[in-house]
């Protein structure tokens, strides 16, 4: 495997920079399990710890790096099969992703099976997951995403109803993807070491399950309800329909949900039924 470039700049805290130590790169690569025909989107390549082995094993790597210096250094390394895109992944629109894939010679980006990999910056890991869901919903064929997250975020993704970890992230990501825990890493796997442990998860995206009448309405409802997670569902829903006591009662009845339950006891199917109930004849 090619040598890592000598670290030339200090890790930038504001970009969540913690670089994976060599001993752990192989474990992460085994978790990703790249194939010669795969096209990868890498989020946050940093100094290229994963980019290089991915490029050796796959057909294409399109890597998005926010740090101008790291992006320039990686680009100047001119690694075969790698396109480095400088920018914030959170700003990547469907058109921008089409363009980035075209730079790798993939002119029909939305007809290309894509895999996502990344040791995500922990400060924006959840928004990045939501961006991936939005891009998938916009028509990009993500086969999977193998990403390193703060362990607590992985716990929230995998949480069961009725637990403290169950919340917005659980409901809205699991509505769009199946999540599997692959690997847990200690702080010492990175330099500089973060203050938290890390977990690698694999997301397999799918169409909304269960199907929902309006995903934006589901998102608004789930966000609103979990901002008042200590209240009953009936009261928490006032954050969603502030003046709609009657509408709330009607929707709860239609969805067969007792208003006295706590928000985190509702499962994904309950939230979908409730969201649909607000749109079906309920004012």
Which spans of this chain sit near ligand SAM (rule: CB under 6 A)? Answer: 15-20, 43-47, 49-50, 64-67, 70, 88-90, 119, 121, 124
Q: Give least dist CB 154 to ligand SAM, A.
A: 15
Contacts (Cβ under 8 Å, ≥6 apart) of 66:
15, 44, 86, 87, 88, 89, 121
Q: Give least dist CB 124 to ligand SAM, A.
A: 5
Give the integer Cα–Cα distance in Å for 117 and 126. 15
Q: Give least dist CB 110 to ligand SAM, A.
A: 21
The length of the chain, given as a count of residues: 283
Q: Which is nearer to ligand SAM, 129 or 224 (CB)?
A: 129
Q: Which is nearer to ligand SAM, 151 or 241 (CB)?
A: 151
Cα torsion angle, 32, 36, 42, 47, sign: positive
Q: Give least dist CB 257 to ligand SAM, A.
A: 37
Q: Which is nearer to ligand SAM, 67 or 264 (CB)?
A: 67
Q: Give least dist CB 236 to ligand SAM, A.
A: 31
Q: Which is nearer to ligand SAM, 13 or 164 (CB)?
A: 13
Give the integer Cα–Cα distance in Å for 168 and 199. 19
Q: Give least dist CB 240 to ligand SAM, A.
A: 29
Give the residue nearest to ligand SAM (CB).
44
State the burial class of residue 170 (Cβ atoms within 10 Å of its Cβ: 0-12, 13-18, 19+).
buried
Q: Give least dist CB 96 to ligand SAM, A.
A: 12
Q: Which is nearer to ligand SAM, 17 or 199 (CB)?
A: 17
What angle, rounded to 10 degrees, do the helices at 245-254 and 268-279 form? 120
Task: Output phi, psi for 62, to 5 deg.
Answer: -110, 115
DSSP 138-203: TT-EEEEEEEEEEHHHHHHHTPPTTSTT-SHHHHHHHTTEEEEEEEEE-GGGEESPPSS-EEEEEE
Placement of tokens 């995998």 in the chain: 158
Q: Which is nearer to ligand SAM, 67 or 155 (CB)?
A: 67
Q: Which is nearer to ligand SAM, 170 or 198 (CB)?
A: 198
């Amino acid at each position: 495997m090619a040598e890592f470039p000598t670290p030339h700049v200090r890790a930038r805290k504001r970009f969540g920079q913690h670089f994976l130590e060599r001993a752990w790169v192989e474990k992460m690569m085994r978790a990703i399990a790249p194939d010669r025909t795969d096209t990868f989107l890498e989020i946050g390549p940093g100094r290229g710890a994963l980019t290089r082995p991915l490029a050796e094993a796959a057909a294409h790597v399109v890597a998005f790096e926010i740090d101008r210096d790291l992006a320039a250094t990686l680009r100047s390394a001119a690694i075969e099969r790698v396109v480095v895109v400088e920018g914030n992944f959170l700003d990547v629109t469907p058109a921008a992703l089409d363009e980035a894939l075209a730079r790798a010679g993939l002119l029909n980006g939305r007809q290309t099976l894509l895999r996502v990999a990344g040791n995500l910056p922990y400060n924006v890991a959840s928004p990045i997951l939501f961006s991936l869901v939005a891009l998938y919903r916009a028509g990009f064929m993500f086969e999977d995403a193998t990403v390193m997250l703060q362990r607590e975020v992985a716990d929230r993704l995998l949480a069961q109803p009725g637990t403290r970890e169950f919340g917005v992230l659980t409901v809205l990501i699991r509505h769009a993807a199946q999540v599997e825990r692959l690997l847990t890493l200690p702080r010492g796997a990175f330099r500089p070491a973060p203050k938290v442990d890390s977990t690698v998860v694999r997301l397999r995206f799918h169409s909304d399950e269960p199907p929902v009448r309006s995903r934006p309405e589901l998102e608004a409802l789930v966000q609103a309800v979990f901002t008042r997670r200590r209240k009953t569902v009936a009261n928490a829903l006032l954050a969603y329909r502030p003046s709609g006591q009657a509408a709330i009662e009607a929707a709860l009845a239609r969805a067969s949900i007792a208003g006295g339950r706590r928000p985190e006891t509702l499962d994904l199917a309950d939230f979908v039924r409730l969201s649909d109930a607000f749109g079906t004849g309920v004012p």
